[in-house]
Amino acid sequence: MNSKNFKIAIASGKGGTGKTTVAVNLAHYLAHDRQQQVLLVDCDVEEPNDALFFADAQLTATVPVLLPVPEIDTQKCTFCRACVDYCAFNAITVIPPLRHAEVSPELCHSCGACLYACRDGAITEKDLHIGTINTFRLGNDLQLLEGRLNVGLATQTPLIRQLTGKAKTSLGTIIYDAPPGTSCSVVATLAGADFVLLVTEPTPFGLHDLKLAVELVRSMDKDFAVVINKSDKGFGEMQQYLSEEALPVFVTIPFDREIARQYSGSRLLIESIEGYKRHYSEMAGKIFETTTV
């Protein structure tokens, strides 16, 4: 198959199941063992940490991310509160008796509804610096794009859109390491993916959130498969769910205390744990044989 610009997203629903583990190890495996040109994209912009796993990572570019945020001119404002009614994020405060009108940039999602609502021409937009996109060179055929949201802001989604927009023009295989959950930021990450790997763990929480994640990828009409991580004694309810829904399980990675030890030392497991690479060889084989580009 032709792997030009094939985009794989690693998502989970529940946090802590192993998205980052799978993303960094898969990226390294594809670049080193399958000689693919790989771009890893850390979309977990509230706490990006993919770069930590590559000791030789070289930062090659840092670009600021700007987002237009509304400002209210109180000379033009008639304090009608139409913008307040339009704002779904409680980001606008207007107090007519005090002739007070202001926007809270940290709550604003830059949806533009207030600009539409205002009949007095009192709202204009001003660029707010919300974070950065960093580019790292990780090896000959491996690059990392990392989105990093400024602390205290709620604008993950627009930052991720700019990040994936920048990534998608790249050649080779693109791996999106998604944030946890199933909300807007995850939808933005998955939107451009050709294939989604859902990483889960065999626990009641893992199963609960896997169901939400499956519902999400189905509603987005994405091809997907499941990776069961930290598997030990098994969990009957998860097996039952997977077989009832006929979901493809690409790899089951056993629980191993040594994995936690190596991960917490920010080491790549395919390099530090004997025999671990076969999980990625199996995973890659299935991804590239089941998908046709």
Partner 1 sequence: MSAMKTVITSSGDTLQSTMDSRFGRCAYFCVYDQESGTTSFLKNEFATAQGGAGQKVAEKMLMLGVQRIISGDFGPKAKAILDKYQVQLVKFSDDQKTIQQIIETLK
Interface with partner 1 (CB under 8 A): 89-91, 93-98, 100, 104, 107, 154
Residue number with CB closer to partner 1 (155 or 189): 155
In the complex, the smallest distance separating the C-beta of residue 151 from partner 1, rounded to whole angstroms, is 14
In the complex, the smallest distance separating the C-beta of residue 126 from partner 1, rounded to whole angstroms, is 19
Residues 6+ apart with CB under 8 A from 170: 5, 39, 143
Q: Compute the distance between CA of residue 79 and CA of residue 148 in angstroms, rounded to an integer.
A: 36
Residue number with CB closer to partner 1 (4 or 100): 100
Residue number with CB closer to partner 1 (98 or 246): 98
In the complex, the smallest distance separating the C-beta of residue 105 from partner 1, rounded to whole angstroms, is 11
Residue number with CB closer to partner 1 (82 or 249): 82
In the complex, the smallest distance separating the C-beta of residue 209 from partner 1, rounded to whole angstroms, is 19
Residue number with CB closer to partner 1 (94 or 242): 94
In the complex, the smallest distance separating the C-beta of residue 82 from partner 1, rounded to whole angstroms, is 15
In the complex, the smallest distance separating the C-beta of residue 93 from partner 1, rounded to whole angstroms, is 5
Residue number with CB closer to partner 1 (59 or 95): 95
Residue number with CB closer to partner 1 (97 or 275): 97
In the complex, the smallest distance separating the C-beta of residue 91 from partner 1, rounded to whole angstroms, is 6
